[in-house]
Structure 1
Amino acid sequence: MSSNPTIILVHGAFADGSSWGRVISRLQAEGFAAVAVQNPLVSLDDDAAHVQRAIDRTKGPVVLVGHSWGGAVITQIGGQERVKSLVYIAAFAPDVGQSPNDTLKPFPPSAGLSGVSVDKGRFLTLTPEGMARNFAQDLPAEEAALLAATQGPVAAACFASKVGAAAWKTKPAWYVVASQDRMLPPDFLRATASRIGARTVEVESGHAPHLSRPDAVAAVIVEAARAI
């Protein structure tokens, strides 16, 4: 295991690090150490700092994996020497000077926006109905309810944060497109994967293929890790 890269998993909005559990068990079975970051979801800089601490706690090469908003985070921080490859799971991958919101502008609004609740502090959560209908529609109802109860509220300002670096310009990238995604339009995911020149795998899943299709997601991560 010591010769393998460490896999650092970066969750997105409306989730937490435990969402990677099924993927982690599969990566460990393949001989990889894996670490799930617990992002505060308050700003791009804060989330990037949490990922940096995870990198600093490891030794040797690293593969960064980002889901959804987590893709913007790994884009920002993934250019450093120890990071050898990037894996995007139904994720944002802005260019320098772009925010996630900027990258979405050419595409119609997603159905998932109808399930988002905004509090007075401008933090966003998914309603239980929104989670079941738009984020986790391909998971059992009890799992969707658990995700709704444990989700991490995300600052609306995160999605307006412009990245200062684009790691995918200098690192090999893989991208998992979720063909039934209701949070981010599948055509947006395909366009993003093409724009960054990623090795692309499309899976039939909702927005969280790491939960509903963990074998497929783990296989892509293992491919990226073994390509180093």
Structure 2
Amino acid sequence: MSTPTVVLVHGAFADASSYSALIPELFSRGISVVAPAGPNRSLSSDAGYLASVVRQIEGPVLLVGHSYGGAVITVAGVEDNVAGLVYLAGYALDEGESLGQIQSGFADAALATALVYTKFPVPGGEDGVDVSVDVEKFPEIFASDVDTARTRVLAVSQRPLAAFAFGEPAPVAAWKTKPSWAVVATADHAINPDVQRFGYERAGAKTIELDSSHLVMLAHPREVADVIEEALRSVSK
């Protein structure tokens, strides 16, 4: 098998710029990267969009998902040319499980008290609800170990997640048929690290733990790149 293209999938309350420290690190190692902008509208539509991106990439793909992006790669990862999955402080959902369900068995992270709800128009229907993070609380909750000037920019440029996505069950779980790797962010205040551990263990993912905030790929780009490189070597054999 040829070396896969790495597709970086961002999470909720973020866009592909959350990978701005990791991408140069991957480039320096000669790794091909694609970092699409996810719609963050619903799990099914976001996974459908990602699947369409994956299908248009020639050759195998390694999907890397951060936070909510982990749920998205869990669904889109069933595409034929996906060789493996890498979870970064993310959700490894089971088939039929939603974000709300996997979180319900664990204590809430600090993020739960910092969410902001706003309406957006839906043509021909009732208004939808967008969820974002309080701008003032964003740096401490998401990236306490990242330069504050950078996190302030991320805070005001969030890509909200539609509330509908929190309750939508995953129709499939790609980790049941694809190998997976994972990073637990042990100082995460957005997703309880135990939620991460639970999903990863269930998925049989090869897991490491980093003393990191939620934005682990900004705080520890070299260590995250090491995990991705290990996954690439494994699936390229």
TM-score band w.r.t. shorter chain: over 0.9
Opposite residue 136 of structure 2, the aligned amino acid is E
TM-score of the superposition, structure 2-length normalised? 0.92
Opposite residue 222 of structure 2, the aligned amino acid is D
Match of 1:40 in 2: 39
| Equivalent pairs, count | 227
In the TM superposition, 1:182-193 aligns within 5 A as 182-193=189-200
- Alpha-carbon distance, 1:50 to partner: 2.3
Q: Distance in 1 between matches of 2:28 and 2:233?
A: 14
CA RMSD of aligned residues (A): 1.3
Contact 2:68–2:90 (CA under 8 A) maintained in structure 1: yes
Equivalent in 205, 209, 228 of residue 202 of structure 1: 209
Q: Distance in 1 between matches of 2:49 and 2:22?
A: 20
> In the alignment, does 2:222 pair up with 1:215?
yes
- Alpha-carbon distance, 1:138 to partner: 1.2
Equivalent in 135, 143, 163 of residue 136 of structure 1: 143
* Identical-pair percentage: 41
Equivalent in 119, 139, 147 of residue 154 of structure 2: 147
User: Which stretches in structure 1 are left out of the alignment for 5+ residues?
Assistant: none
Match of 1:93 in 2: 92
Runs of at least 4 residues of structure 1 off by over 3 A? none
TM-score of the superposition, structure 1-length normalised? 0.96
Contact 1:90–1:184 (CA under 8 A) maintained in structure 2: yes
Q: Deviations over 1:123-156 (max 9, x none)?
A: 0111122211211111121111011111101101
User: Which stretches in structure 2 are left out of the alignment for 5+ residues?
Assistant: 120-127
Match of 2:111 in 1: 112
Q: Distance in 2 between matches of 1:197 and 1:52?
A: 23
Counterpart secondary structure, 1:222: helix
